Amino acid sequence: MTAPRSLQTARQRRRKPRQERALATVSFVLDAAAQVFAERGYAATTNEIAARAGVSVGSLYQYFADKDALLVALAERHLAEAQASLQSVLEDAPTEPDQLVRRVIEAAVDLNRPSALHTVLYQAAPRTPELVEVLDRVRHDLAAAVAALLAEAGVDAPVADRRGHALVVAVDAAIHEHVLAATTPEDESARINDVVTLTTATLAAYTR
Amino acid sequence: MTAPRSLQTARQRRRKPRQERALATVSFVLDAAAQVFAERGYAATTNEIAARAGVSVGSLYQYFADKDALLVALAERHLAEAQASLQSVLEDAPTEPDQLVRRVIEAAVDLNRPSALHTVLYQAAPRTPELVEVLDRVRHDLAAAVAALLAEAGVDAPVADRRGHALVVAVDAAIHEHVLAATTPEDESARINDVVTLTTATLAAYTR
DNA sequence: TCAGTATCCTGAGTATCGCTCAGGTTCTCT
DNA sequence: AGAGAACCTGAGCGATACTCAGGATACTGA
């Protein structure tokens, strides 16, 4: 938040690790970043992260353009998981659509269940374009799946795309800001039901 | 992002303007902050804002505890408008519920139609608890209105509250991230229709 | 085996930034 | 007019993100 940092956050023009030790360094740094960000939020210091990783700041900046690049990398790591999980739910048993909706939503809730790191990613950190792009990627996949569902039901492709996006954005927010704010497990499952209802009702209306 | 800045962002223990010139100063600073934040995002400098306002940094810090306090004040200003507008729509002619839904959503879209400042508030800035609280205030009112609607239709009060919140959160996100991303006026009205459909379908399902 | 080279690491130093505070200016009130 | 309150100023402090020159380590080919 201090040095040059051009508006378009310095592009990823950084060394790529080629040797084993370099890969290890990158991995140490990412682990340390996850820890320190989780503990101290976005105020975590790059020097602190480097220290925790057991390397010098210089090494950190050989592989990450700036502090925000660490968050982006962390988000990418987190979302690889998410994408895999959703993929498996989607491919798995399509069963009845209503059941599928519930399964996807429950999977999303589990993936996002409050972790300190998650909070930093979604709340505490400034949303740089790069970070937003990464966070959007999963939604994009889901939106495509929903659009396919709608198209199958006879909705025109462009309309299906548009509506798929609308629904996914809405449900995503409902999960992050409604379900995950639940106070008790019973409350949480009630809220999940709310979201499932919202989703199925909307799907029905969108195919009507 | 540098000096002390305790985790709980320094509380608003700052001088309150009592004379005319002080009020003017506060106003100049806020206007400048809106401009500079809009131009340069969260990277905007407090010194820059003060310069643009034609006052010294010292003056700025007499009325705003820290950089984030500027954003909170900006949000409060923006949401005063929003609240007034929504209030009038809600009080106005309740007409038919579907029409009311459309009116509220259109009003929300107008209020949030892309301004660079709006982008900073909702995207670029770290979401401090204070900022989140302010941004939640309007949703809170709307959620109450929706809950009232549901309660009228015979839904138990606590359930109505919960569902009202779920819907408002979802619709809010759909407006900010779906409708406002429209490329043409036709596209926008199509997207508004999507959101209206989502809302009315969900309302119907929630009262069923 | 052993230079020559590419890769990697180090950490003190640089450029800024958020924010303060001591001291001066303007306003208000009697 | 004079005193005190409110207001303003801006150089400077502490702290942070990021750099860079130089040294260490791994790889390559002869």
CB contact under 8 A, B127 and A123: yes
**Whose CA is nearest the C1' atom of nucleotide D10?**
B56
Q: Is A99 on the interface with B (CB under 8 A)?
A: no
Chain B span 17-56 residues with beta carbon within 7 Å of strand D: 17-19, 21-22, 24-25, 55-56
pLDDT > 60? residue B12: no
**Distance from residue A17's CA to nucleotide C6's C1', rounded to whole Å:** 12
User: Which residue, among A39, A156, A178, A198, would best test binding to B if mutated, counting the most B CBs under 10 Å from its CB?
Assistant: A198
Smallest CA–C1' distance to C28, residue: B19
Indicate if the pLDDT at residue B122 is higher than 60: yes
Return d(Cα A80, Cα A73) in angstroms, integer. Answer: 11
Closest by Cα among B6, A208, B131 to B123: B131
Of residues A166, A203, A200, A138, the one with CA closest to residue B171: A166
State how far the Cα of B50 lies from the Cα of B28, in Å rounded to an integer: 9
Tokens linked to B190: 């199509």
> Average pLDDT in the B150-161 region?
96
Phi, psi angles (nearest 5°) of residue A17? -65, 135
* Mean local confidence (pLDDT), B168-187: 96
Over range A11-30, report the average pLDDT: 90
- The answer to whether the CB atoms of A5 and B167 lie below 8 A apart is no
Q: Cβ(B195)–Cβ(B180) under 8 Å?
A: no
Question: B62: Cβ under 7 Å from strand D?
Answer: yes
Residue A11 — pLDDT band, cuts 50, 70, 90?
very low
Q: What is the mean pLDDT of residues A142-170?
A: 96
Out of A5, A159, A190, closest to residue B43 by CB = A5
- Confidence bin at B123 (pLDDT 50/70/90): confident
C-alpha atoms less than 13 angstroms from C-alpha of B60 in its C-beta half-sphere: 25
pLDDT of residue B119: 79
**Taking the C1' atom of C8, which residue's CA lies nearest?**
A22
Size of interface A-B (CB pairs under 8 A): 108
pLDDT tens-digit series, residues A90-146: 888 677 888 999 999 999 999 988 788 888 888 888 888 899 999 999 899 899 999
Three-state DSSP string of A95-156: CCHHHHHHHHHHHHHHHHCCCHHHHHHHHHCCCCHHHHHHHHHHHHHHHHHHHHHHHHCCCC
Q: Which two three-digit tokens encode residue A142?
A: 């889901």
